[in-house]
Structure 1
Amino acid sequence: MQEPRRCRELGIVVGAMPTGPLNAVTDVPGVRVGHTTLVEGDSIRSGVTAVVPDQLTDRRSLPAGLFVGNGHGKMVGATQVTELGEIETPVVLTATLSTFRAADALLTYMLAQPGRETAGSLNPVVAETNDGYLSDIRARPVRAEHVLAALSEASGGLPAEGAVGAGTGTAALGFKAGIGTSSRRAATSCGTVTVGVLVQANFSGVLQVLGVPVRPEQVGVPTLARPGRPEHPGNSCVIVVATDGRLDARQLGRVARRAVFAMARVGSDFAGGSGDYALAFSTADTQTPTAPESDLEPVFAAVLEAVEEALLNSLFMARTTAGVEGRVKYAVPHDRMRDLLRAHRVELRA
C-alpha cells in the first residue's frame, strides 16, 4: 500500500508564491487544528475537525466573511456571520447528520471558557459534507465528547491530512479524499501577510493536477466501487481561510469568494447538489488600520494557490478506504499519476 505524500513530496508545486514554514493553516499565528477520527467496525468512517483561533480567548469575535458557491448544504451560524461579519467560536467540520450534535457540543465548549460565564447568546459555526457513501451516516456517530476532544486537543503543528477527522469518510473527483491544508505568504504594502487554508473535500468532477485531467480509469482505479453499484458523485466542499492580514468583513467576503473559485482549478463541476462554502477570518488586531484595497490582489493570489494545493493534499494524503456495505474509495495512485503528468510534459520538481 502506498504511503500518503503531500503535493511537494510528489514534485508537484502549485504556483510561485512562498509557503509558510509548515505549508498549513497553522502557519497563521494562533491558529490550531484538532481532529477526532471515528473508525468503527465496517460501517463507521466519520469524525470531527476543529479550526481554533487562540485570539478568541481574549476577544469576543474575529472579523469574518462567508461565500456560498452553492447552498445545498448546512452551515450552522451562517446567517449571523453574513449579517455581522464576524465569528464568535472556532469552526467545526463534521458529517451532514452530525452537524447539530456538533453545534450543541461547540456551545458547551464555549460556555465553559473563561469570561463566558454570563453569556446568553453565542453563534456556533459548524459546517458539513456528506460521508454517507463510506459511513453509516444515519447512525450519527459523532457525540459531544468527540467534538470536545477535537477542540481541546487542537495543536499548532502540521495538521494530519487525508482520511482523518471530518475527512475520514469523504471523497472527491473520483478518488478518496479528506482533509487538506496549505499556506502562502503574500507581500503587501502593509508587510508580509500569511494566508492559511484548510479544506474538507467531498465533491464531484474530473481531477485536474497542474492542468492535466486525471480520470480514475487512466490511473488504473476502478470506476465502480462495487459491481453493479454506480459511483457516488460526491458532494460539497468546506474551505476555511485564516489570515493575519488586517482585513475587514467585506474584504474577507471577497477572499472567501476566491476560495470557492479555486475549486475549478482542481476540476470541480460545481454540481447543483453540492454545498460549497468558504469562510475567511482574520486574526489581526482590529485596532490597526484596515488594509487598502490594493493589498487584496496578492492576497487573492495567495488564496487561489493555497486552496488548490490544499485540495490536492486532501487527495494525495488519503488512503484507500473501505466502508459500509463493502463500498470502497480508492486513493490516487501516486506513481501512475506522475507518469501521466510526465506524458503531458509537466515538469515535476525533485
Structure 2
Amino acid sequence: MDELAAPAGRRARDLGLVAGRFPAGPYGAITDVPGVRVGHVTLREPPLLHSGVTAIVPGDVHPAAPLPAGVFTGNGYGKLIGSTQLAELGALETPVLLTSTLSAFRAADALVGWMLERPACADVTSLNPVVGECNDGVLSDIRARPVREEHVRAALDAAAGGPVAEGCTGAGTGVAALGFKAGVGTASRLVEARGHSACVGVLVQANFGGTLRVLGRTVTPADLGVPGPGAAPEAGSCMVVAATDAPLDARQLTRVARRAVFALARTGAAYGHGSGDYAIAFGVRPGGPPPADAALDPLFEAVMDAVEEAVLNSLLAATTTTGPAGRTRYALPAGRLLRLLGPR
C-alpha cells in the first residue's frame, strides 16, 4: 500500500487545497444552503454494475410554489430533461435528479409519480421534472438501465441536510473525470457583499475529459504513478447544481449557472465534442427584491471557487473501480498528489 495515499473520503479542504478567499459553510456542502437536502441510492454489483441516482431536494418545491432558477449549457451533448421549460420560465418545479444517461428517462417518470403524490400537487395536471445525467458506460452496464422507480423514490425520501456523501455514491458511482475515478462532489462558500450575507453551495457529478489541474498545477496520472485511461476520447459530461439563499431572480441565477460551467476550466475540463457540460442554479428565497447586478461579483467568485473545490472532492473521495471487461479507473492518490504539489 502506498504510504502516502490518504484513505478515500478525504476532502480537498482537509488537505489544504482551498480555492479562493471565502470561507466554507459548516458542512462545506450544498446542504449549507437553508432547506436544501441531498439523498443517494447506490447500485453496485461488481464488475458489471456501478450506477445510482442522486436527489437534490430544495424544501417543499412544487408547481404552485416554484423556485427561481437558471440553466446554462456549456456543451450540449447530453440529456438534461426539463431544461427548455426551465430556461423559458426561470422556474424550478421539482427536485433535481442526477443519474446515468439511459436511466434518466425512467428517473423522470418516477419523479413525476413521486411529485403527484405530494399533497400540494393534488390538483396538478402538468409539471416539469428536471433530471440530469452522465454516461457511466465505461464502468457499468449502461444498457441495463438499472435505476428504477423504487431507487428514485428511495433517494428522494432519504434526502437530508447535513454532511453529503461524496465520491462513488449515488449518481457518482460509475463516473470518471480528468484521467481518474471521480464521482459526486460538493462544496460551499459564505459571502458578505454590500452588507448582506449569503451562502452558495454546489454539487457536481464529474465525468468529463481533460487534464487535471489542481490550484493551477497540471497533474497527470503518470505524474502520480497511476495507470491512466489510455487514449480515451474527450467524452463524458459534468452536471453542476448550484443553490443560494441570495434573493436572485431567474436571470441572475442564469448568470450564476454560467460561472459554474466556466469554473470547470479551472480543473482542466476540455469541453470536448462528446461532453455535456451543464449547470442549474436555483434560489431558495423567491419573491424578494433582487440585488443590483453590480453586487453579484462576490457570488460569481464564490460559485467558481465552490465548483473547483467540489470537483477536487469528487476525485479525492472516489475509489479505484473496475467495470465490465476489466476496464478500470484509478483513484487520485492524495498522498502522492501532496508530494507532487510540494509546500503551499
TM range (shorter): over 0.9
Distance 2:148 2:228 in 1: 34
Per-residue deviation, residues 181-233 of structure 1 (Å, max 9, x unmatched): 000011123510100000000000000001111100110111247xxxx4464
Contact 1:172 1:234 in 2 (8 A): no
Q: CA RMSD in A?
A: 1.4
Deviation for aligned residue 1:157? 1.2
Distance 2:43 2:12 in 1: 26
Distance 1:147 1:33 in 2: 12
Are 2:135 and 1:150 equivalent residues in the alignment?
no
Map of 2:291 onto structure 1: 291
Map of 1:277 onto structure 2: 278
Contact 1:65 1:82 in 2 (8 A): yes
Q: Which of 39, 43, 50 pairs up with 1:38?
A: 43
Deviation for aligned residue 1:57? 6.2
The 5 Å alignment of 1:41-80 reads 41-56=46-61, 60-80=65-85
Change (3 A) 1:180 1:65: same
Change (3 A) 1:218 1:66: same
The 5 Å alignment of 1:165-184 reads 165-184=170-189
Change (3 A) 1:239 1:179: same
Identity level (%):
57
Runs of 4+ in 1 over 6 A off after TM superposition: none
Deviation for aligned residue 1:59? 5.3
Deviation for aligned residue 1:336? 1.1
Unaligned regions of 5+ residues in structure 1, if any?
none
Deviation for aligned residue 1:106? 0.3
Deviation for aligned residue 1:333? 1.0
Distance 1:138 1:300 in 2: 38
Contact 2:264 2:307 in 1 (8 A): yes
| Paired positions, count | 339
Change (3 A) 1:13 1:296: same
Per-residue deviation, residues 139-163 of structure 1 (Å, max 9, x unmatched): 0000000000000000001110001
Map of 1:192 onto structure 2: 197
Give SS of 1:251's match.
Answer: helix
Map of 1:268 onto structure 2: 269
Change (3 A) 1:290 1:55: farther
Distance 1:204 1:74 in 2: 18
Per-residue deviation, residues 166-186 of structure 1 (Å, max 9, x unmatched): 000000000000000000011
Give the counterpart letter for 1:33 in structure 2. Answer: V
Per-residue deviation, residues 260-295 of structure 1 (Å, max 9, x unmatched): 000000000110110000000000141x21111122
Distance 1:30 1:193 in 2: 14
Distance 1:18 1:111 in 2: 39
Unaligned regions of 5+ residues in structure 2, if any?
none
Give SS of 2:61's match.
Answer: helix
